[in-house]
Structure 1
Amino acid sequence: MLTILIFFYLTITVWALASIIFHGSRPSRSVSWVLAVLLFPFLGPLLYYLFGVNRRKFKFYKLKGNLKRRLYDEMYKESRIHEYRNALETQGRLAKMLKNSSGFFPDVGNKVEVLHAGIETFERIFEALEDAKEFIHVQYYIFEEGKLQDRFHQIFKKKIQEGVEVRMMYDSLGSRSFKGKLKKRFRKIGVSTYPMMPLRIGNFMYTLNYRNHRKIIVVDGKVGFVGGMNVSDKYIKSISELGVWEDIHLRLEGPAVSSLHKIFIKDYHFASRKKVLLTPKYLPKLKEVGNSVVQIIASGPDSNQPDILHQYVAMINLAEKSISIANPYFIPGPVVLNALKIAALGGTDIRLLFPRNSDSFLAKYSMYANFEDLLAVGIKIYMRTDFSHSKMIVVDRKIASVGSGNFDYRSFEHNFESNAIIYDAGVAHQISEEFDKECEEAYPLVYEEFKNRARVQKFKEGLAKFFSPLL
């Protein structure tokens, strides 16, 4: 028995080490996995198999479902190429790079409304749902039991009785409590509900590490919402020591809603195995209603490139005067860190705004581990006393990005994400003014003081930093 156990241990360990060597995506990440495999017998290789395997080269990308996602891209060719190309030329290299990377052209003629507080955001969402005439499409990472979920149910029931189609997708891990009676409650009133990447026997090993982190609502193909806010009562009341969560969200009208809707349609096609949405009815021709140019970015493990990473690095490199970043999980890796340092040394004013406390020990101290190097090159870091879940970046107060993508490896490589890039100085200035206000209310880190922080904190940072490539 012992001989069999030793043979099994050696086999899985050698397999894991060989896989890391041949298919590792980053040296620092590979080293962390090698140490994990060697230090934790059996558990290390299992964790690597679940969370470390580069499935861009493995079975995940051969699944029929994923092939269907790619076939979908061939079914929806852009029909307004001339208009799109004009917008592409006026917005410069960033828009071209994002189009070539993510596939979406910039859309002209949009109206963008910036939303900050949870109560304000959900009031605008519920108003849009109440006005629905044909269909409501909802997609969330977390769809949690509580007052907000009850309100969605109430509106859905009313609209379905009026003949409105309601479809909803949720992440099976993020919304793990949405099952049994809760799910039946929504299906009973006629809501078409589907989990993204369900955790089932047979696909568990291939889907656990790939989550749909998107937050999207589309009403009648004309009004859209995108950002970082989930359906959870923590956005409207204090239910933990972190207090009421803050976040930034966008309400969109105009042609960009079609780009946003295509993300939902593609995911729904993948999750439901139904072609019901692959008709022109769900992508009506939209008139220009505003002055904002908006480009939607979709990224995921089925993307050919890490589009969210490319977007953030390109925006940092584009900046001439200023960069403002707010994010709750700032663990970006050397590419983004070096881009920020280069920009700061070149004279760009960079301000980073983070929550002092976090819902994750590893995330919190992995973030802190990068602060000393950033402060040393003149980057300003502000710490909020409340918890902000916002994911935004503004460069030169001219271009802004709001969405679901964090500055971490998970958002860059593992999660399905969606961001909106707004090429509008007015909107960017509005977001920047709120950012400025939040920085004034936060406390700034001082390089000399932070450098002399307690050894206990440095130890926590070092420990968290060791595992940060695995996040």
Structure 2
Amino acid sequence: MFNILLFIYAIITLWALFSVIMYGTRPTKSLSWVLIIVIFPFGGALLYYLFGVNRRKFKFFRLKRSQKRKLYDIENKEAIDAEFEFESMQSRKLSKLILNNTYLYVKHGNKVDVLNTGKDTFDAIFNAIEKAKDFIHVQYYIFEKGELQDKFYEIFKKKIEEGVEIRMIYDSFGSVSFRGKLKKRFRDIGVKTNPMMPLRFGSLLFTLNYRNHRKIIIIDGKIGFTGGFNVSDKYIQSTSDLGIWEDLHVKLEGPVVNSLHRIFIKDYHFASKEPLLLTSKYLPNHKNTGTSAVQIVASGPDSNQPAIMQQYIAMINLAESSIFIANPYFIPGSAVILALIIAAQSGIEVTLIVPKKGDSILVTYSMLSNFEELLAVGINIYERDGFSHSKVIVIDEKIASIGSGNFDHRSFELNFEINAVIYDKNIAKQIIVESENKCSKASKLSYESFKNRSKSQKFLEGLAKFFIPLL
């Protein structure tokens, strides 16, 4: 029996190692998987098969619907009368990169409201939904049972009775509890609900690792919301020892709402198989409602380029005086780490703010493993007592990005993500002022004391690095 198990183990391990060598995307990531496969018999190979296989290299990931997703943006490009041109070379370069990656233009004349708390965010969302006349489109990674979900239900029921169309898509993994009676009660009142990449037998192994992490709400094609908040009561009340989760969201009004809506329309079409909603009813003409230039960045495993990662690296490289980053999952990989080190050594003030205590021990130690080399070049790192779920980067107090994209492998390569890049110094300064207030209450790490941390902590950080491909 032992010999049979040994033979099976050898076959499985050799297959996994062969797959890593043949289809691995990066040497560092491949090496991590090799170590996981070797160190953890059977379990390592299983983890690799579930989370590590680069399925885009395989025929079953090049199915017809996957190809249709990749062609969607080319076949349904945004129509634009006159492309907005920046005076700043910095903004021109960034916006051109995003356009080439996403086929989404910079839109001028938008009104942007930055929402800093769960209460402010959901009050704004519910107030806007209450005023809907034609349709409400909702997309979330997590749509969780609780007070907020009940509030959505109550308003949806009222709006459907008024003749308003409601469509909702959700990630089947993040919203795993939204099924059975919970989902049925929304469908029973007329909400068209569809999961993204449903967890079904036969396709589970091919889709489990690719999640839709986007958060989007569109009301009548006139108002849009996006950012980091999910529908979960942890954002409005303390449900664990992490306290009330903090995050950032934006309310958008103006021409950029159509760009945001196009991402929802694409996802809804492939989740529901219903016809595309590319009509003037859903993508109306917009008058300028404000003074902000905004551009939407969307990326996913069907993108030709890792648009979110390239956006972050471009912003770091284009910074001239300052870089501010707030992110709860700062595990970016060597390219971003090197870009930050180069920026700091070029005299740019770099500030990173992260939670002192995260929602995952593995993530916490993985983040800490990068801090010593960042502190060594003068990067300011602050640890906050409360758990901040914000995904923000601001450069030169001029350009800000708020969205769903984390600084990790999953957001860069595996998840469907969305960010709003705001080319407006007033909005950027507003975010910086709020962030500086938070930094004043946070603990600033010292290079001298951090490098002398215990050997046991260093060991745990090193061990955690092996699992970065899973995060």
Normalising TM by the smaller chain, what interval?
over 0.9
Q: C-alpha deviations, 1:397-419, integer Å up to 9, x for none? A: 00000000000000000000000
**8 A contact 2:73–2:102 mirrored in 1:** no
1:416 aligns with 416
Matched, 1:364 2:364: yes
| Matched residue, 2:297 | 297
In structure 1, C-alpha distance between the alignment counterparts of 2:107 and 2:245, rounded to whole Å: 31
1:381 partnered with 2:381: yes
Q: What is the distance in 2 between the residues matched to 1:176 and 1:277?
A: 27
Question: Quick one: which amino acid aligns to residue 84 of structure 1?
Answer: E
Q: Which residue of structure 1 aligns with residue 132 of structure 2? A: 132
Partner residue in 1 for 2:142: 142
Larger mean CA deviation between 208-217 and 1-10 belongs to 1-10
- Partners of 1:60 and 1:436 in 2: CA distance: 48
Equivalent in the alignment of 1:65 = 65
1:268 lines up with 2:259 in the alignment: no
**1:242 aligned partner:** 242
Q: TM-score, normalization: structure 1?
A: 0.97
Q: Secondary structure at the match of 1:269?
A: helix
Separation in 1, partners of 2:209, 2:329 = 17
Match of 1:18 in 2: 18
Deviations 1:70-107 (A, max 9, x none): 34324422221x42254699731111111112221111
- Measured in 2, the distance between the counterparts of 1:458 and 1:74 equals 47
Residue of structure 1 equivalent to 2:463: 463
1:217 lines up with 2:237 in the alignment: no
Spell out, residue by residue over 1:250-309, the C-alpha distance to the aligned partner (whole angstroms, 9 max, x if none). 000011100000000000011001105233321111111111110100000000111111
Identity among equivalent pairs (%): 63
Structure 1 residues 173-211: Cα deviation after superposition (integer angstroms, max 9, x where no partner):
100111111000100110000011111011101000000
> Mapping of 1:339-358 within 5 angstroms?
339-358=339-358
Give 3-state SS (helix, strand or coil) of 2:206's partner: helix
Deviates more, 1:28-37 or 1:207-216: 28-37
Distance 2:7 2:393 in 1: 51
CA distance in 2, matches of 1:289, 1:376: 45
In structure 1, give the amino acid aligned to 2:160: I
C-alpha separation in 1, matches of 2:277 and 2:355: 40
Structure 1 match to 2:183? 183
Which amino acid letter does the alignment assign opposite residue 152 of structure 1? F
Matches within 5 A, 1:393-432: 393-432=393-432
- 1 CA distance for matches of 2:103 and 2:73? 9
8 Å CA contact 1:32, 1:470 repeated in 2: no
Asked whether the 8 Å contact 1:331–1:367 carries over to 2, the reply is: yes
Q: Using the alignment, how far apart are the partners of 2:208 and 2:32 within structure 1?
A: 20
Q: Aligned runs of 1:302-317 on 2, under 5 Å?
A: 302-317=302-317
Corresponding residue number in structure 2 for 1:280: 280
Following the alignment from structure 2 to structure 1, what is the Cα–Cα distance between the partners of residues 169 and 394? 30
Tell me the residue number matched to 1:120. 120
| Matches of 1:368 and 1:3, distance apart in 2 | 42
Shift of 1:461: 1.3
Letter of the 1:44 counterpart: G
Within 2, Cα distance between the matches of 1:404 and 1:180?
Answer: 27
**2:108–2:255 CA contact under 8 A, matched in 1:** yes
Find the aligned partners of 1:326 and 1:175 in 2 and give their Cα distance. Answer: 25
Deviation digits for residues 107-137 of structure 1 (CA, Å, limit 9, x no counterpart): 1111100000100100000011001000000
Residue 393 of structure 2 aligns to a residue whose secondary structure is strand
Aligned pair 1:54/2:57, yes or no?
A: no
Q: Which residue of 2 aligns with 1:443?
A: 443
Letter in 2 for 1:83: A
* Partner amino acid, structure 1, of 2:383: M
**What letter is aligned with 2:108?**
V
The residue type equivalent to 2:77 in the other structure is K
Hey, what does 2:92 align to over in structure 1?
A: 92
CA distance in 1, matches of 2:288, 2:218: 17
CA contact (8 A) 1:391 1:402 kept: yes
Write the distance in 1 (CA, Å) between the matches of 2:276 and 2:190. 16
- 2-structure distance, mates of 1:204, 1:67: 19
Q: 1:39-50, aligned counterparts within 5 Å? A: 39-50=39-50
For the 8 Å contact 1:392–1:402, the answer to whether it is kept is yes
> Given that residues 356 and 386 in structure 1 are in contact (C-alpha distance below 8 angstroms), is that contact kept between their aligned partners in structure 2?
yes
Residue 231 of structure 1 and its aligned partner are, at CA, apart by 0.3
Partner of 1:330: 330
Whether the aligned pair in 1 keeps the contact of 2:300 and 2:417 (CA below 8 Å) is yes
Q: Cα RMSD between the aligned structures?
A: 1.5
The number of residue pairs the alignment matches comes to 470
Is the alpha carbon distance of 1:18 and 1:243 closer, same or farther for their aligned partners in structure 2, counting shifts above 3 Å? same
Q: CA deviation at 1:367?
A: 0.6
| Residues 40-49 or 4-13, more deviating | 4-13
1:83 matched to 2:82: yes
| 8 Å contact kept, 1:245–1:387 | yes
- The alpha-carbon deviation at position 31 of structure 1 amounts to 0.8
Letter in 2 for 1:378: G
Cα contact 2:52–2:469 (8 A) shared by 1? no
Q: Quote the offset at 1:228 in angstroms.
A: 0.4
Equivalences for residues 4-15 of structure 1 within 5 A: 5-15=5-15
- With over 3 angstroms needed to count, the CA separation of the structure-2 counterparts of 1:213 and 1:88, relative to structure 1, is farther
Cα offset, 1:453, TM superposition:
1.6
Please say if residues 74 and 103 of structure 2, whose CA atoms lie closer than 8 Å, have aligned partners that are also in contact. Answer: no
How many angstroms apart in 1 are the aligned matches of 2:387 and 2:6?
48
Structure 1 match to 2:200: 200
CA distance in structure 2 between the aligned counterparts of 1:385 and 1:2, rounded to whole angstroms:
51
Residues 139, 216 of structure 2: 8 Å contact kept:
yes
- Equivalent residues of 1:319, 1:395 under 8 A apart: yes
Residue identity in the other structure for 1:100: N
Shift in Å, 1:361: 0.8
1:101 aligns with 2:101: yes
Shift, 1:25, TM fit: 1.2
CA distance in 1, matches of 2:34, 2:293: 46
Q: What amino acid sits opposite 2:176 in the alignment?
A: R
Q: Please list every run of at least 4 consecutive aligned residues from structure 1 whose deviation after the TM superposition is greater than 6 angstroms.
A: none
Q: What secondary structure is seen at the aligned counterpart in 1 of 2:351?
A: strand
After superposition, the Cα gap between the structure-2 partners of 1:436 and 1:409, relative to the gap in structure 1 and judged at 3 Å, is same
In structure 2, what residue type is equivalent to 1:428? A
